[in-house]
Structure 1
Amino acid sequence: MKATLYISIAVILLSSCQPKTVNKLDLLVARTSEVIVKIDGNEFRDLNSNGKLDLYEDSKSNVEDRIEDLLSQMTLEEKAGMMFINGAPVSEDGDPNQPGSGPAARMMTTPASLDSLKMNHFNIWSIPDDPAVFAKWYNKVQLIAEKNRLGIPVTIASDPRHHLGKNVIQMAANGFSQFCELPGFAALNDVQLVREFADVVRKEYMAIGIREALFPQIDLATEPRWARISGNFSEDAELTARLVKPYIEGLQTTSLSNGIACMTKHFPGGGPQKEGLDPHFSIQKGQIYPGDNFDYHLIPFEAAFEANTSAIMPYYGIPVGQTDEDVAMSYNKAIITSLLREKYQYDGVVCTDWGLITDLPMGPEIVWKARAWGVEHLSDLERVEKIINAGVDQFGGESRPELVVQLVKEGRINEERLNASVRRLLRQKFQLGLFENPFVDESKVAETLQDPKSIALGERSQKESMTLLKNKENTLPLKKETKVYIENIDSTTVADYATIVSSPAEADFAIIRLNTPWYPADSKVPFARSFHHGDLDFKGEEKSRILDLLNKVPTVVDIYLDRPAVIPEITNAATALIANYGASDKSVCEVLFGNTSPQGKLPFELPSSMEAVRNQKTDVPYDSENPLFKFGFGLTYDID
């Protein structure tokens, strides 16, 4: 009834007068996306329901003026809420009031976070297999946000969802176009392909309401044991920098109103982890620079600054011996203020990586420690204070705005310091156009996410990025009539290309798919044990089993390189060896049987032994002794 009444008032007033300028409006607008009042052809949303056009609601006004107007109306609690982003549950039916599944299942529902915590930034982990359901959920969330006191729209962020690989951090690619992982793009070194890929991600994310990318990840793979290499481009700084710019420009476009805001990570480069142990966990041993090569890891970020990345995320690690105190990056004023803000003059949003404040029990024996490395002794309140004083704007993976409020009320943090951060966060929302129209067209989701051109581009990246490392006597490409014995590859797919036999003795060739080895870390935390840590070589029975097959029948080995594998014996015994960076069984067959030729060059070297790996300097690229395959190596073959 209320909506109908307001619509009637609006229609009457608009038909009786056509004002030349709009300062105040003597009408109320129903707070629903279905009601858009037009004045002189301009659309207006009365977000705070005060019956007039506030400056922050006026899309024709200067963004900086709009920011100041909205900031002046915000309470301390609303400012504090804006400084937090955490996971939001998404239910299978798209109802924001229902709990979701996966990592966000334990989280407060989004309406509750909007109401009680005044939060309006959320990241998404698990979503329904049908992205259209997510779009439905997203629109409902924006309607709820619209009804809050100031009607500030919600920003939804996500990790990568478009890569066909096994990176533990990336989200499932269900429903999205599927590309190789970033090392595959570095293997091709094709700027235009990266730009086209970024444009696909942009369109598909925008179609369902994701407007902030928690990527690109542009760390350097200088420590080959690090568990997150598959999320990076390369160990080479110049190659990574070359590809960073088209990635960010393709996502953000020339105007964020038609783009995705990039949160580039992990400043100042997270690659040089001692023994490759990831600082998500207390097993980490520090971020070290034995080659005195700290500045090398900044080169990709300099390219990101040139591309005007909207946000920056520091990593968890301690830059051991590089600053005046050995504390983690987001706690480190020398990293955030002196280096990022002052040296690089960066004035975008700086958001911590996830979970730096709150220790969480995970059962009777396990506590998920906050990544407060170097400041473990500080209380939660003191941790928040130190991060703000370091120069950070937003807390990732946390929902503790009450701590910010307490700091201001106790006089430990000046409210003007909060205003500086909130300005940056509001600026991003205004630039994204969320205040004008935060909603998506649910009817267009399938059309956008099932675009044949995008699907074909993803498949092309999977195939062409593959790197041919050995091809004895030009074994590849295989002939279509070949009899093959297969392991770890779908028989139905292979049957379209060759005759499958049940034993190696019957086969002309064997085809096996392998993954770079990894070994669970010594930790009670399940998430830590799922990271691909540890040695890079096959061992014991598994190694013997593989070599036994290779010695029985000429074998084509395809290996997924999420880290640089150490495979000298397998290389020696294989008839052909090819690497992929995330590829479907079909894409692998397309290359092995000659419908596409492999074009990739190694984006990182493959060491010859684990001893060589252990002797490398963590922060220096391609420095292992006598590598099995050097950085940039790759063969190819002609196809008809």
Structure 2
Amino acid sequence: MKQRTRRLMALMLTASMAASGAAVSVAAADDPYKQAEAAADDPYKQAAAADDDPYKQADAAADDPYKQAGAAADDPYKQAGAAADDPYKQAGAAADDPYKQAGAAADDPYKQAGAAADDPYKQAEAATDDPYKQAANADDPYKQAEEASDATDAIGGIVPSADAKYTISVTEDGWIKVENEDGDTLGLAADSAVKLLEADGYAFKDMNQNGELDKYEDWRLSTEERAADLVNQMQGEEMAAVLTHGGWGDFTTEPLAEDDGSYTYLMQGGRGGVTRNIKQGGTAHAKWANAIQAVAEQSFYGIPAMISIDPANISGLVETLSLASTMDTELAAEIGQETAKEYRAAGVNALLGPQVDIASPIMFRSGGTYGEDPQLTLDIATAYINGMQSTYDENGEDLGWGDESVYCFTKHFSGDGSTEGGRDDHANGGRYAVFPGNNLEAHLITFFDGAFNLPGKTGTTGIMTQYGIDVDADGNPYGGEWAGAYNTYLNGMLDEAGFEGLKITDWGVYQFAGVWGAEDLEEADRIATSWENGVNLLGGYSDVDTAKAAYGVLVDRDGQDKADEIMRAATEKFVAVMMNLNTFENPYVDTAYADTIITTDGSSDFAKEGQRESIVMLKNDGTISADGAASEKPTVYVPYVYNTGWSATWMSGISEGTPTWTPGMDIDKLSQYFNVVTDTLGDPTGEADAEGNATYTKDDLTRATADEIAACDYVLVGMTNAYATSYESHLSGAFGGEPVSDDVEEVWYPASLQYGEYTADTAREVSIGGKTLEDGTKENRSYKGVTAHEVPNYGDLEALQYANENAGDVPVIVSMKMERGMVWDEVEPLADVILVNYNQQREDIVAEVILGQTEPTGLLVFQQPVNMEAVEAQLEDVPRDMECYTDAAGNTYDFAFGLNWSGKIDDDRTAKYTAEPLTKVQNFDYSAYEAANK
């Protein structure tokens, strides 16, 4: 068949299918293809003889209606012995051509030379009788040969009718954009197998490529109706594949090749994964996201991909602790809105966050939280999430879900802020979250009273399960020895409360982290168990075959009906979320716009406002003020700091690392504000590393002299808070592991919030958490009497000590990067000014404060302990229960403390957040639930 004829035939098929959606009404008696009483005369639709229908032969090559190798003789358009390229003129087989049989012209409804009046398609004098419109009519979808060129004809597989209420264009990015009047905007790839359908003048995407407008493809219907329709079309294994969330392959700005990991995963049915590449730039990331969606569109009902992200501080917007330190809910809402706009511009549609755990002072992952107070976390998280999930019009009106909405998976449900010893919950060492104050309910407040009870139109969020096992004061686990992804006690709470959001697991819970309680199960059985207990999406999981096998486990264990019920409920939630985000209609983004809204090098002006609000001044002896600096461009000494590189992490285990010398702050940034004096770093002279390169030693740096320092206006020491993580001596890394066998001695080390060595003489004698061992005894994870060595960045303190010793009368300013509390008695006496930057050093804002251009307004979001004994005495689950450090000026570094130019800040924020910590949930009767289920 000629290429042009193929296009026209495709147009005829597409328009005919669109007509079934009420585009054109045709009288059956006049239509030789649709005569209900004479089906036998219709060579294309003889219900009793489907085998003779060249377009519907179930056992033939279903993907090619024009080439069915086993039934070529039955195809009036392709008979091997005839002129195959001409369906209307096959010289050797005229008798087989129902449209041109020379000896039976009377039977040909299309070419009866003497009976033109009987031809319903070509009656020159009775054009109004032509149900498919006349050749002279430009609206005829079957004959626009002159109007449409090969390059532009049938964009999206359709030519709009005369009554079309939509326009079709091709964007500069190459995807097709369809704009419906007073309706949704559609997007599809230019080379997509998905085509457009027209119904009632509107355009729709034929996402499952069946030629019909299914309910789930009809954007006019409710999300609930659409989601139910789609899920009811899916098989159990298909749903299992869609519920994985473990992509992607390599980052690329090119269309995905068939051997690309993302392509393979999507074609298997995978529909989600986290991106780590947004810092590649707005345009680059948007191109990659469009490439992902173009492949997703081709298979599995055209379900778009969920591209998630961990909080990424995009464009310099403050998040987590920095945002919390502003204690400004209006700013939180604005940053939520702006962050969502930028994420969506880059093609991201889901946030793996925010992290609303109520953090203990020594929690390993505290830097991703909003601090230790339930009320503050509740307020900031609610405002931020509400701003992020809703789309707003130009007047700021909340429109609910829309094109600028990002779905939030608040994490971690619930209690991971109280890991015993503050240990990293990715690894076996952080297996237990403990509640010695029996205060688990306080850790539910941010969920039930905030994330699940939003003031805006989106109502609620999703959740991410926790890794740990929650244990009460007596060591009894809530819901048994099961981590969050499997725990019926935690998931039952959500069911009891009528939670309707989407539930995703944290990463690795079927393989290495948070698998606690399910270690003895096969991987597919672990997945099935988590599905049974309420999980929906498999976070970080991309093994589609095993996910399908897990569905089989469900069927074997629970029966077909129950298994399908579980899968439908989960899948319906997922597709409903993606429909609410409008990705079913248009998952594509404008790459040029992405670069105009996202700042990858530096910070936006709006971001700078948040950064200025977040900086906390703990100490000021009068060195800095609104009066400005000592000179127009002061001279500052910025020392280098040494780091041993030592670490103990779940990824790498215990590592000696590679020593480094780096300036305590970014000298290039500071040079815009100051004349900078610094130290001189020589060549490394230490032992070779694994690559054979020499490493640095402490002797490889030459400090600035006392005279050089004395000639400066200020000493500016950049530091990172002291923190040594608690870990076990046999931490092997990648990926955690079981407790060592009984005959192997295990040593547990304390966390430390001071730079120098710390021996935990006042720690618990017996840990609260601990697994029952093979001999029936309980594992003791106590670190009492064990010494934590110097922190890897002890060089920060050494740099401060050197500066202080040589500063003379030059004021010493400390700029401390922090992610938790710390013991200040090593640092505070050596500094005249202390500024705190949560999450990251912000040299430009620090410079503005020193120069008197910005007044500090931030407040502490963690108590600062007087010593490590105070840390050991506090209860992990009880906020703000420590004795705090008091400095030389008599100021106590308590929660919500901070200074401005006038002294200690005392305002509406401090009045609200220094009230007694919240302990009770308002929107869920936890006491009744606990009594009935513990």
| TM-score band w.r.t. shorter chain | 0.7 to 0.9
Counterparts in 2 of 1:43-122, with a 5 A limit? 43-97=203-257, 109-116=261-268, 118-122=269-273
Aligned CA-pair RMSD? 3.0
For residues 19 and 374 of structure 1, do their structure 2 counterparts lie closer, same or farther at Cα, with a shift above 3 Å needed?
closer
1:503-514 matched pairs, under 5 angstroms: 503=704, 504-514=709-719
- Asked if the contact 1:462–1:583 (Cα under 8 Å) also holds between the matched residues in 2, the reply is no
Report whether the alignment pairs 1:225 with 2:379: no
Q: Does 1:251 align with 2:388?
A: yes
Q: 2:754 aligns to what?
A: 537
Q: Does 1:325 align with 2:470?
A: no
How far does residue 36 in structure 1 lie from its aligned partner after superposition? 4.5
Write the mapping of 1:17-56 to structure 2, written as runs, cut at 5 A. Answer: 19=22, 30=157, 32-34=188-190, 36-56=196-216
User: Structure 1, unaligned stretches of length 5 or more?
Assistant: 100-107, 163-175, 359-368
Q: How far apart are the structure 2 equivalents of 1:379 and 1:566?
A: 45
Indicate yes or no: 2:194 matched with 1:194.
no
The code of the aligned residue for 2:665 comes to: I
Q: Which residue does 1:314 correspond to in 2?
A: 465
Residue 354 in structure 1 maps to residue 507 in structure 2? yes
Which of 295, 319, 335 is 2:490 aligned to? Answer: 335
Structure 1 pair 519–7 and aligned structure 2 pair: CA distance change class (3 A): farther
Could you tell me whether the CA contact under 8 Å between 2:613 and 2:857 is conserved in 1?
Answer: yes
Q: How does 1:365-384 map to 2 (within 5 A)?
A: 369-384=512-527
Asked if 1:271 is matched to 2:417, the reply is yes
Are 2:479 and 2:488, in contact at CA under 8 Å, matched by a contact in 1? no
- 1:634 paired with 2:898, answer yes
CA distance in 2, matches of 1:599, 1:378: 52
Shift of 1:500: 2.8
1:469–1:64: structure 2 CA closer, same or farther, 3 Å change rule? same
Counterpart of 1:417 in structure 2 is 566
Is the alpha carbon distance of 1:498 and 1:454 closer, same or farther for their aligned partners in structure 2, counting shifts above 3 Å?
closer
State the shift of 1:197 in Å: 0.7
Q: Where does residue 284 of structure 2 map in the other structure?
A: 133
Preserved CA contact (<8 Å) 1:94 1:133: no
Offset, 1:548:
3.4
Aligned-residue offset at 1:377: 2.1
Deviations 1:483-518 (A, max 9, x none): 321132233332332333353233232001101123
Aligned to 2:732: 524
How far apart are residue 286 of structure 1 and its match? 0.9
Query: How many Å apart are 1:218 and its aligned residue?
Result: 0.6
Cα shift at 1:538 = 1.2
1:490 corresponding residue in structure 2: 666
Distance 1:149 1:484, change over 3 A: closer
- Give SS of 2:881's match: coil
State which drifts further: 415-424 or 28-37: 28-37
Structure 2 Cα separation of the partners of residues 124 and 575 of structure 1 = 43
AA paired with 1:382? D
Deviations 1:396-436 (A, max 9, x none): 11123123232134244622121111111121111111111
What are the Cα deviations for residues 165-200 of structure 1, in whole angstroms up to 9, with x where unaligned? xxxxxxxxxxx3112342122211111111111111
Kept in 2, the 8 Å contact 1:180–1:583? The answer is: no
How many residue pairs match? The answer is 598
What's the secondary structure of 2:257's corresponding residue? Answer: coil
With CA pairs under 8 Å and 6+ residues apart, which has the higher RCO, 1 or 2?
Answer: 1
The CA distance in 2 between the partners of 1:160 and 1:143, in whole Å, is 25
How far did 1:468 drift? 0.4
Tell me if the contact between 2:527 and 2:547 (Cα under 8 Å) persists in the aligned partners.
no
Q: Specify which of 579, 601, 607 is matched with residue 836 of structure 2.
A: 579
The equivalent of 2:806 in structure 1 is: 552
Matches within 5 A, 1:136-215: 136-162=287-313, 176-215=314-353
Query: Quick one: structure 1 residues 188 and 393, their matched pair in 2 at CA, closer, same or farther if it must change by over 3 Å?
Result: same
Counterparts in 2 of 1:326 and 1:411: CA distance versus 1, 3 Å = closer
- Distance change >3 Å, CA 601–CA 19, structure 1 → 2: same
Relative to structure 1, the CA distance from residue 451 to residue 401 in structure 2 (aligned partners, 3 Å threshold; closer, same or farther) is closer
CA distance in 1, matches of 2:431, 2:599: 44
Scaled by the length of structure 1, the TM-score of the pair is 0.86
Identity of aligned residues (%): 28
**Who is 1:170 aligned against?**
none
In structure 1, how many angstroms separate the alpha carbons of the residues matched to 2:516 and 2:368? 23
Asked whether the 8 Å contact 1:255–1:431 carries over to 2, the reply is no
Report the CA distance between 1:584 and its aligned residue.
Answer: 2.6
Which residue matches 2:577?
A: 428
Between structures 1 and 2, the one with greater helix share = 1
Distance 1:570 1:341 in 2: 49
Sort the Cα spacing of 1:93 and 1:452 in 2 relative to 1 into closer, same or farther, 3 A. closer
Structure 1 contact 352–392 (Cα < 8 Å) conserved: yes
Aligned partners of 1:16 and 1:394: how far apart in 2?
A: 39
Mark the runs of 5 or more structure 2 residues left unpaired by the alignment: 26-140, 143-153, 159-187, 391-398, 640-663, 679-703, 737-749, 757-789, 887-892, 904-934
- Report if the CA contact (8 A) 1:200-1:454 is conserved: no
Alignment of 1:301 with 2:447, yes or no, is: yes
- Structure-2 change in CA distance of 1:593 and 1:555 (3 Å): same
CA contact (8 A) 1:216 1:262 kept: yes
- CA–CA separation in structure 2 for the residues paired with 1:16 and 1:586: 63
Q: CA deviation at 1:372?
A: 0.8
- Give TM-score, length-normalised by structure 2: 0.60
Matched with 1:620 is 878
Q: Which moved more, 1:590-599 or 1:288-297?
A: 590-599
Separation in 2, partners of 1:112, 1:276 = 39
**Structure 2 vs 1, CA of residues 296 and 436 (structure 1 numbering), >3 Å: closer, same or farther?**
same
Q: What amino acid is the match of 1:295?
A: E
**Would the alpha carbon gap of residues 568 and 586 (structure 1) be closer, same or farther in structure 2, given more than 3 Å must change?**
same
In 2, Cα distance between the equivalents of 1:21 and 1:433? 29
Of 148-157 and 122-131, the range deviating more from structure 2: 122-131
> CA 1:5 to 1:282, structure 2 compared with 1: closer, same or farther past 3 Å?
farther
How far apart are 1:252 and its partner, in Å? 0.8
Contact kept, 8 Å, 2:616 with 2:837, in 1: the verdict is: yes
Report if the CA contact (8 A) 1:90-1:137 is conserved.
no
Note the C-alpha offset of 1:475.
3.6
Is the 8 Å Cα contact of residues 480 and 497 (structure 1) preserved in structure 2? Answer: no
What is the aligned partner in structure 2 of residue 169 from structure 1?
Answer: none
Alignment check: 8 A CA contact 2:504 2:538 kept: yes
* 1:475–1:112 CA distance, 2 compared to 1 (3 A): same
Residue 560 of structure 1, CA deviation: 0.7
Q: Deviations over 1:108-131 (max 9, x none)?
A: 712211222x11122212356223
Q: Counterpart of 1:364?
A: none
